[in-house]
Structure 1
Amino acid sequence: MLFLQEGFNSQLAKEALNPEIEVAYLDYADTPLMKQDIEFPTPDPIFRIRQEIAAADLIWIFSPVYIHAIPGPVKNLLDSMSRSLDEYDSRSKSILYDKLVRCVL
C-alpha cells in the first residue's frame, strides 16, 4: 500500500488498518510542475515516483481539502502520473492504468 504522504489523515488510517499490511509513503516534494515541455526525457523525480507506483498493490491518497479542492501539489502529482508513458503515443497507458487507487478527502 502506498500513501501519498504522512500526515494527520494517514495517521488515522494507520490506526484503522491491519498491522500486517505493509505501508510506504511517497515523497513527492521534488515533483516538478507538470508541463509538456519537460515530459520527455522523463525527469528523475517523475521516474522515481513511477517506479514506486508500479511496485505498489494499492494507492491510497489521503489529502485535506482546501477551498473545496485538493491541494495544488497533489493535483500536480496526479496530473504527472496520468500522462502517457509513451513519448510518441499520447493515448497510451499511464502508470496509473489498472492500479487500484482510493482517495480519502
Structure 2
Amino acid sequence: MSQYRIAVVVGSLRRDSFNQQLANALVKLAPQDFSLTRLEIGDLPLYNQDDDGQQAQAVKRLKQEVSSAQGVLFVTPEYNRSVPGVLKNAIDHASRPYGQSAWAGKPAGVIGISVGSIGTALAQQHLRNILAYLDMPTLGQPEAFLQAKEGLFNPDGGIGEGSRKFLQDWMDRYVAWVKKHTD
C-alpha cells in the first residue's frame, strides 16, 4: 500500500486541548506514507437508537471517514476516570446500527495526555475495553500515559527533546501495527 490513511479521533472539543496539541505533534512523527487526518466529532447529535434508520449527515460523514481509513488513532483526555462523553458518542454513532460498525477490523492506537500524574491511564483502559468489543485490534505496547508538563511541546508544536524518542518509538510501533493488520 502506497498511502495509509489514519483517522485521528481527539476526544476533546476544548480549543486549547492538550490532546489536540498531541494529535498535531504526532502527525509530525508519522512517516511520509501515513496521512493522519483529524475527524470532526463535535457536530454529532447525541446518539439515539431511534435514529439508526435515518442517521444525520454528520454521522454518515463520520462513518464514511472511518470506513475509508486503514487505521484509527484515538487521542483521549480523561474525564472523571473515563473517556469523555463526546468520544463515546462518536464511537456509538459509528458502530450503529448493529452489524454495520465502521470500526470493525480497523487497527487502533490509543494515547492521551492529562495534567494528572497518571496521565490518561484509566480513560485508556476503558477505551481499550470498548475497542475490544468493537473488534478493533488495538496496539497494546508501549502504553503512553503522558502528563502535560513544561517542555513536552516545542514552541513550534512538535514534541520536545525530552519526550521525542519515546513518542517516536510509540509512533513507529503504531505504524508497524497498522501495516501488520492491513497488508
Normalised to the residue count of structure 2, the TM-score between the two structures is 0.49
Decide whether the 8 Å contact of 1:4 with 1:26 is kept in 2.
yes
Q: Counterparts of 1:15 and 1:68 in 2: how far apart (Å)?
A: 29
Q: Which residue of 2 aligns with 1:87?
A: none
Q: Which residue of 2 aligns with 1:71?
A: 84
Decide whether the 8 Å contact of 1:81 with 1:96 is kept in 2.
yes
Q: Say which structure, 1 or 2, has more relative contact order (CA 8 Å, 6+ apart).
A: 1
Q: Counterparts of 2:100 and 2:39 in 1: how far apart (Å)?
A: 21
Q: Counterparts of 2:69 and 2:101 in 1: how far apart (Å)?
A: 15
Q: Which residue of 2 aligns with 1:51?
A: 64
Displacement of 1:83: 1.8
Provide the alpha-carbon RMSD of the alignment. 1.7
Q: Counterparts of 1:24 and 1:12 in 2: how far apart (Å)?
A: 12
Q: Counterparts of 1:76 and 1:27 in 2: how far apart (Å)?
A: 12
2:22 alignment partner, SS class = helix
Decide whether the 8 Å contact of 1:9 with 1:63 is kept in 2.
no
Q: Which residue of 1 aligns with 2:111?
A: 104
Q: Counterparts of 1:30 and 1:9 in 2: how far apart (Å)?
A: 21
Identity %: 21
- Greater Cα offset, 18-27 or 50-59: 18-27
Aligned residue-pair number: 99
Q: Which residue of 1 aligns with 2:51?
A: 38
Displacement of 1:15: 3.5
1:73-95: per-residue Cα shift (whole Å, max 9, x none)?
Answer: 001111112223xxxxx4x2411
In the alignment, structure 1 segments of 5+ residues that lack a partner are 85-89
Q: 1:27 aligns with which of 26, 32, 40?
A: 40
Normalised to the residue count of structure 1, the TM-score between the two structures is 0.82
Displacement of 1:19: 4.0
Q: Counterparts of 1:77 and 1:71 in 2: how far apart (Å)?
A: 10
**Greater share of helix residues, 1 or 2?**
2
Q: Which residue of 1 aligns with 2:26?
A: 13
Q: Counterparts of 1:9 and 1:16 in 2: how far apart (Å)?
A: 11
Displacement of 1:9: 2.1
